[in-house]
Amino acid sequence: MSVLENRITGTTSDYLPELRLGLDNLRAHKLRSLLTMLGMIFGVAAVVAMLSIGAGAQQEVMAFIEQLGVRNLIVEAREANDYQTMQKVRKLSAGLSFQDYRVIRANLEGITAATPRKRFVPAKLLPRPQSDPPTVYGVSPEYVSIANLHLVTGRFFDDGETEAAAPVAVLGEAAAASLFGADDPIGRHVKVNDQWFQVIGVAGPQLTVQSEVAGLPVQDRNNLVYVPLYAAVFRLEDGQSQYKDEIDGIYLQMRSGSEIPAASALLRGLLNFSHREAGDFSIVSPAELLAEQRRTQRIFEMVMVAIASISLLVGGIGIMNIMLASVMERTREIGVRRAIGAKKRDVIRQFLIETTIISLAGGVLGVVVGVGLSELIGYFAGWSTIVTTTSIVLAFVVSVVIGLVFGLYPAVRAAGLDPVKALHYE
């Protein structure tokens, strides 16, 4: 036990004087030490800030995709923007229809829930919305489980109301606030075009994104009015254009996520056959999107780290430069230490301790600056930023490693000085 205590005491007594000497040397040249740290500070800050911005953006999209349902498949009608293109498409395909829905239900195994969708923006709405007019979704009650919709008050319409095209509606959170403000909308009426609908429920908040994701149009999923499918078709369909799709979306929920790839391929084959390869639809598989998004996130993080590491390399070069200058300044000191019995490893350890102090201090300050910078960017730019433990640890470890690697050459060079020549160095 005493031998172990002696070894610990000896090791501590070896390092503590050198640590104090290293701190004294750095304090003696405060400005130079600070300037040397700046490269490490900016490098670490860049790594932390860039990874936090990337993580925030990726998490927002990934959470939205997860909300779409990893067991779901979504078919979206792809309507042409101009009349001539639409005419060409209609020569091949009548567009997405109830017939497509029936064929899919009959031929695709493993479906646990499904609903067509009829979507449009009403021309007239009462009460007048205080913000953007909500979009009307005509769906069946199965949409609740497919979209993982939660109602904060009231209820969703049932199968009987759907079959009867009942004039009832469920409002999204934003739609309820826009139409009725702080008042309770349950039991109130909304006039959509020329039809009155009684509000029977209000849906809870849903995530939304500000850009198109894999063919899904940009849509505030909280600013919606849900009505029974046949109410949308028979009460609200304007019938202005024979070229419009009968329905514009189909939602399918499969038994398990493992069935998604095969079901997606079969679904595409069925629709390509019935639509005669017109290309007037798109199939969205949230499970496949999520896997792709995760791969993209990993690549993005690697690229960001590689770019930000350039700043750390510049900081490492700065450390090497300053330490080489320090070797020249302290040549006589090194000669004296060697003359009184210091070994080469003692000199190497002394210089590595100093570079480690610089790297550690630069890493800590860089993490603080990086976290602050990401918070500022999130506040002023309105971006979602997430500072992860991984980004902090990665940036900190890389900064210390680079500091040690770039400090090794000056330390070895100092240890290799001839003690006799070092003593006579002026």
- Same domain for 58 and 188, yes or no, is no
What single-letter amino acid sits at 201? G
| Nearest CA among 29, 32, 36 for reference residue 403 | 36
Question: Is position 132 within any domain?
Answer: yes
The answer to whether 115 and 142 are in contact (CB under 8 A) is yes
Cα four-point dihedral sign 275, 278, 281, 285: positive
Looking at the structure, tell me whether residues 86 and 205 fall in a common domain: yes
Shared domain check, 44 and 19: yes
φ/ψ (deg, to 5) at 38: -60, -40
CA terminus-to-terminus distance, the chain: 49
Phi, psi of 322 (to 5 degrees): -65, -40
Q: Per the domain annotation, does 102 fall within a domain?
A: yes
Report the 10 Å Cβ neighbour count for 319: 25
Q: Does one domain contain both 239 and 112?
A: yes
| Residue whose C-alpha is closest to residue 146's, from 117, 119, 174 | 117
CA 295/CA 398 separation, integer angstroms? 23
Residue 1: per-residue pLDDT? 41
Same domain, 197 and 145: yes
Which domain-ending residue is among 218, 251, 279?
A: 279
Count the domains in the chain: 2
Alpha-carbon distances of 361 from 26, 101, 114, 403, rounded to whole Å: 12, 64, 58, 11
* CA–CA distance, 338 with 264 (Å, rounded to integer): 75
For 153, the domain range is: 79-279
Residue 126 lies in a domain: yes
Residues 6+ apart with CB under 8 A from 324: 409, 410, 413
In a domain, 247, yes or no: yes
How do the residues of the chain divide into helix, strand and coil, expressed in percent and rounded to 5? 60, 15, 25
> Backbone phi, then psi, for 323, in 5-degree steps?
-70, -35
User: pTM here?
Assistant: 0.68
Contacts (Cβ under 8 Å, ≥6 apart) of 31: none
- E strands along 45-95, which residues? 72-77
Q: Are residues 275 and 314 in the same domain?
A: no
Q: How many residues does the structure list for the chain?
A: 426
> Quick one: 231 and 312 in the same domain?
no
Locate 420 and state its tokens. Answer: 């006799």
Q: Are residues 247 and 381 in the same domain?
A: no
Q: Which residues make Cβ contacts (< 8 Å) with residue 22, sequence separation at least 6?
A: 350, 353, 354, 357
Domain end, chosen from 256, 279, 302, is at 279
Report the pLDDT value the prediction gives residue 189, as an integer from 0 to 100.
95
- Whether 287 is in a domain gets the answer no
Residues 53 and 124 grouped into a single domain: no
Residues 6 or more apart whose CB falls under 8 angstroms from that of 8 comprise: none
Of the candidates 298, 406, 417, 400, the one whose C-alpha atom is nearest the C-alpha of residue 356 is 400
What letter represents residue 80's amino acid?
A
Same domain, residue pair 246 and 348: no
Residue 236's pLDDT is 84
What is the reported pLDDT for 223?
Answer: 93
pLDDT for 379: 79
Residue showing tokens 């056959």? 273
305 within a domain of the structure (yes/no)? yes
Asked which of 249, 279, 309 is the last residue of a domain, the reply is 279
Q: Is residue 344 part of a domain?
A: yes
Cα 395 from Cα 44, distance rounded (Å): 5
* pLDDT tens sequence across 206-245: 877 655 655 566 678 899 999 999 999 988 876 545 567 7
**Quick one: pLDDT at residue 88?**
81
Q: What is the pLDDT of residues 384-421, one digit of tens each?
A: 788 878 778 877 787 788 878 888 888 788 777 776 66
Residue 250's alpha-carbon distances to 212, 221, 407, in angstroms, are: 18, 16, 63
For residue 200, give the H/E element and its range: strand 195-203
Positions of the chain with pLDDT lower than 50, given as ranges: 1-12, 240
The answer to the question of residue 151 being in a domain is yes
For the stretch 348-358, pLDDT in tens is 887 888 888 88
- Same domain? For 173 and 256 the reply is yes
- Taking CA atoms, 16 is separated from 10, 85, 190, 228, in Å, by 10, 80, 78, 77
- Whether residue 195 sits in one domain with residue 317: no
Q: State the Cα–Cα distance between residues 150 and 131, nearest whole angstrom.
A: 23
How many other CB atoms sit within 10 Å of the CB of residue 258? 12
For 175, the token pair is 């739609």
